[in-house]
Amino acid sequence: MIIPSPSPGALRRPCPLTASRRSFLVGAGLGAAAAALAACSGSSGERSSTTLTIAYQKTSTFFQLDDLLHKAKEEFEAANSEVTIKLSPIEAEQDQYFTKLALMNGSSDTAPDIIYEDTFQIRSDAAAGYLMPIDEYLEGWEDWSQFVDSAKEAGVGDDGKTYGVSMGTDTRGIYVNKTILAQAGLPADWQPTTWEEILAAARAVKEKVPDVIPLNIYAGKAGGEQTTMQGFEMLLYGTDDVLYDDSTQKWFTGSTGMLDSLTFMKTVYDEGLGPDLDLALDATIGSRVSSSLLPEGKLAIAVDGSWLPGFWISGDNEWPQWQETIGLAKMPTQNGQGAGFTSMSGGWTLAIGSQCANPEAAFQFISIALNQENSLKYATENAAIAVRTDVAESEEYLGYNPSFEFFSGLVEYTHFRPATPDYSQISANIQTACESVITGQATPQEACDTYDAGLVKIVGDDKVQEA
């Protein structure tokens, strides 16, 4: 069914675009409006205002976003015949996606008009001038009141302006193959309460079921942010330390929690409890975990994100038996301290590029892509934790995926990455430390020392403090 553009009450600007509005938006002479846009966005005025290019990630296992954007394109173009949406998928794993997107943003000739933007990149990309603030459009969008406050904050830059609309959030936990655990003498409802219990379970699997990988926790540089967030930070934020002090706005050095987290990774790989290094260091390991290793019974325990069941419910990697095979467990803190469990949350947004010559139409596309119906489609099919209340409370959402209740329940234990412009550099520093440990190039202490030195180079002496 084709969904019309929002009503005039939903967006302050009439939608679909009126004839007079079209002449303002897509006419040959934009006049003073074009000059104003060029001043605020860096546009030279030569970019097309009748074609909007959308850059987004697409992989063999991540197709739900592609489906959503094709649907939104059809609906937008049905309401706005003079504006064309050009979908420009970047077929790459996450870290390579960031790299290719940065290259596109580096030139006004290739910079996209609408961007699939990770929340942790919002501040740095806004500060770099790649994104356009959208507050004036949000003020006139009735649907904005449906978004929870934490989702709204996810799109805010250092200057307090909003640069992205959240598509959903996520949490992270532990996936277990119940059949393999049973063969190793572990209960189907296994729930570790310490790190040592995770290692003990992995050791039992190695001994009793030697032809499978006992445990996967991401630790290679090629994995990019999945190594930082699904791997290292799932450990660190279960210790008594964190990366960053919000009150002092300084980064921690000399962290015992970092040392313990890297030591855990070293133990996993030294004892042969993790995947072989050729797989652990492969950029595609994330998609292989969801598409083959877990479904084919080659992996017993995996620390990973809430989105995996979305791949198994429908699509090329459909796995009807996943509910009978897979169990879910919370990630324990190091010694069961604090709340007893931990998780990490992130999420993605749709943002408007600073070079966009037709931001009003670009925002209209975003408002269609993330309306109630399309947000429901994306949240269910992508196994995302809904950030619109009218989606999160709907029976269709709650009944679609039996894992939603479990992963939504992890929100009370969750943590968020430091939302600073230099986080992406520090994340890369973390990935280097992790890989150096699992490959034996450095001891955990040496990797911590190297991380601390790199951190000081990134942020300066005045922005660090002892943990």
Cβ–Cβ under 8 Å, residues 301 and 201: yes
pTM: 0.78
> What domains appear along the chain, each with residue ranges and CATH number?
19-170+346-414 (3.40.190.10), 172-345+417-466 (3.40.190.10)
User: How many CA atoms within 13 Å lie on the side-chain side of 200?
Assistant: 10
- Give rounded-to-5 percent helix, strand, coil for the chain: 45, 15, 35
Cβ–Cβ under 8 Å, residues 390 and 148: no
Q: Convert the pLDDT of each residue in 419-465 to its tens digit.
A: 888 898 999 999 999 999 999 999 999 999 999 999 999 999 999 99
For residue 248, what are the contacts with CB-CB under 8 A and spacing of at least 6? 465
Q: Give the whole-angstrom CA distance, residue 55 versus residue 203.
A: 43
Q: Convert the pLDDT of each residue in 105-144 to its tens digit.
A: 999 999 999 999 999 889 889 999 999 999 999 999 999 9
- Predicted local confidence at residue 63, as pLDDT: 81
Count Cβ atoms below 10 Å from residue 187 Cβ, excluding itself: 10
CA distances, 244 to each of 164, 220, 347, 445, 457 (Å)? 23, 22, 19, 19, 16
- Predicted local confidence at residue 314, as pLDDT: 81
- Predicted local confidence at residue 382, as pLDDT: 85
Using DSSP's 3-state secondary structure scheme, residue 438 falls into helix
- Predicted local confidence at residue 39, as pLDDT: 37
CA angle (372, 374, 380) in 5-degree steps:
100
26 or 407, greater pLDDT:
407
Q: Convert the pLDDT of each residue in 15-40 to its tens digit.
A: 334 333 333 333 333 333 333 333 34
CA distances, 341 to each of 186, 268, 426 (Å)? 20, 20, 25
Residues listed for the chain: 467
Q: Convert the pLDDT of each residue in 360-371 to its tens digit.
A: 999 999 999 999
Residue 2 reports pLDDT greater than 50: no
CA distances, 145 to each of 130, 137, 281, 411 (Å)? 26, 13, 43, 21
61 or 282, greater pLDDT:
282
Please choose, from the candidates 271, 298, 306, the residue with its C-alpha nearest in 3D space to the C-alpha of residue 180: 298
- The chain-wide mean pLDDT, for the chain, equals 89
Q: Convert the pLDDT of each residue in 66-114 to its tens digit.
A: 999 999 999 999 999 999 999 999 998 877 898 899 999 999 999 999 9
Q: Give the whole-angstrom CA distance, residue 34 versus residue 46.
A: 10
First to last CA, the chain: 56
- Read off φ and ψ for residue 306, nearest 5 degrees: -70, -10
- Predicted local confidence at residue 36, as pLDDT: 36
For residue 376, what are the contacts with CB-CB under 8 A and spacing of at least 6? 386, 391, 394, 396, 397
Compute the CA torsion angle 98, 102, 103, 104 (nearest 10 deg). Answer: 100
Q: What is the mean pLDDT of residues 202-219?
A: 98
* CA dihedral (252, 256, 259, 263) positive or negative: negative
Q: What is the mean pLDDT of residues 313-323?
A: 90
